[in-house]
A = this chain, B = another copy of it.
Amino acid sequence: MKTYEQHPVTRIRRESQENIDDFVVTEFPLTIFLNENEFVTVVCTPENLLELAVGFLFSERVIDRAEDILTSRIDNGRNIVYISVNERQYPAEGVRLKRYITPGCFYYTTLNTGAKKIESNISARSGQLLELVHLAQKKSVLYRMTGGVHSAALCCNSEILLFREDIGRHNAIDKLVGHCLLHGMNMEDKILLTSGRVSSAVMVKVINARIPIVVSSSAPTSESVKLSDKFGITLAGFARGKRVNVYTNTRRITDTQAAIL
């Protein structure tokens, strides 16, 4: 399925007007069945759907590792991913109730509040982070076509290892996480870039995946600053052009005074 559609548009500029066909990002409802039961419907951009489903289940703490998945199957015609897990992994009624009362992109309850602080001693220069953001922007083909997607990238030092785009900023991160789980890639020594704002929901995914550095081109919220401080994550925001703000755990940014002292 295509990640974009063509639609007729009247494009109005100050002194001209034209009727063209323009690209609009596809909005696609993917339903995840867990052990034969309908579990959740995620609205997304239709690519890397198994990664998305696996990453979502991990971020929601339904599974702890790829090995918890017994079988997986995609029915592309019906927009369904079927995943079966060990019965013991199946979320209890209480967990489902908790999730029911928290739509609106709020996954706070899925945080393991007993999670250990992230102690990783990886580091980066601020210029390196800005260069990665620049590289990610160059990779954003669907964004340039449609203007309607967010991106997420997983980086090692100065290299982008994985890059995903989706209409949902949460989904783009889940796709990265799902790929890492399915391919046995370590996330604990990586840098996560996101084009979107960093809310508590995003930070909970980062904490569950144990990624030590998060860089956003956009703003953080009060809760994401508090969570990143508490769990030892370096949070940078407004990384655009030649500037970046570092909110927490500045010690990992090697050209700041905090790192030098």
State the A residues within 8 Å of B (CB): 4-5, 7-14, 17, 19, 22, 24-27, 29, 31, 38-44, 96, 99-106, 108, 126, 146-148, 167-168, 170-171, 197, 199-201, 218-225, 238, 242-247, 250, 253, 255-258
Contacts and interface: CB of A to CB of B under 8 A. Distances in A.
Contact of A29 (B9, B106, B170, B255): B106
Contact of A12 (B220, B222, B224, B244): B244
A90 to B, nearest CB: 15
A38 B104 contact: no
Taking each of A9, A41, A103, which has the highest tally of chain B beta carbons within 10 Å of its own beta carbon?
A: A103
In the A-B complex, the 9 residue pairs with the closest CB atoms: A148-B219, A27-B221, A147-B219, A27-B223, A100-B100, A10-B246, A43-B106, A12-B126, A14-B242
A102 B65 CA distance: 24
Contacts of A255: 12, 17
A221 B39 contact: no
A246 B9 contact: yes
A103 B99 contact: yes
A108 B238 CA distance: 32
Contacts of A4: 222
